[in-house]
Amino acid sequence: MPKFLTLRPLTADEVETLARLAHARTEPAWLVERAQMLWRAHHGEQVPAIARALGVDDETVRRWLKRFNAGGLADLADEPRSGRPPTYTAEEVGMIIATSLTDPADLDLPFGSWTLDRLTAYLHEAQGLTISRSRIGALLQQEGLRWRKQETWFGERPDPAFAEKRGPSSPSTSSRRRAAS
């Protein structure tokens, strides 16, 4: 006689959590589906019936029942997957963010604010980290930092003698006529 795969006895907390997850509308779909498998097994359904009801194969249901029996609710999450290792270490990313939040004057730099180009050049020259401008922007955005373009037209001119150097307006520009009242 074949042995059927059954769900181990659940604690009261596990029953409550599974009921919430199996009927959730805001949790990730993969988590809800796995919780539904366990919830149905808890109510006595067998593997083929659960698989048919959820539109998965029998082996998928068996896998999640075995994982839950072995590790509980914590094992419903995906295991880490292999893939390309990160290009920049956590320390390098932290250094990039810390540098972007540092006032350039504190580093004895001749400008008052960072631009992505200045930050890229500083990281390459002073820190020895070759990183692209777009990658810096993406890292800062992932940290919730928004980059603003520097508006050079706003406020006073950086050169106090600008008006003298510029000279008078062009003679081809006619003066405005006043409207008749």
How many CB atoms sit inside 10 A of residue 59's CB? Answer: 10
Q: Count up the domains in the chain and report the number.
A: 2
Closest CA to 114 of 136, 89, 84, 94: 136
List, for residues 96-112, the tens digit of each pLDDT value. 999 999 999 899 998 88
In a domain, 3, yes or no: no
List, for residues 35-68, the tens digit of each pLDDT value. 999 999 999 999 999 999 999 999 999 999 999 9
The model's pTM: 0.49
Whether residues 60 and 111 share a domain: the answer is no
Angle between helices 58-71 and 47-54 (to 10 degrees): 110
List, for residues 134-163, the tens digit of each pLDDT value. 999 999 998 888 776 655 555 555 677 776
In a domain, 84, yes or no: no
Could you give the CA distance from residue 43 to residue 40 in angstroms, rounded to a whole number? 5
Instruction: Output the pLDDT for position 112.
Output: 84
Could you give the CA distance from residue 35 to residue 21 in angstroms, rounded to a whole number? 6
Closest CA to 7 of 60, 45, 55, 53: 45
In a domain, 51, yes or no: yes
The residue from 76, 100, 131 where one domain ends is 76
Pair 61, 50: CB distance under 8 Å: yes
Give residue 105's domain range. Answer: 90-148
Mean model confidence pLDDT for the chain: 86
Q: In 3-state terms, what secondary structure has residue 48?
A: helix
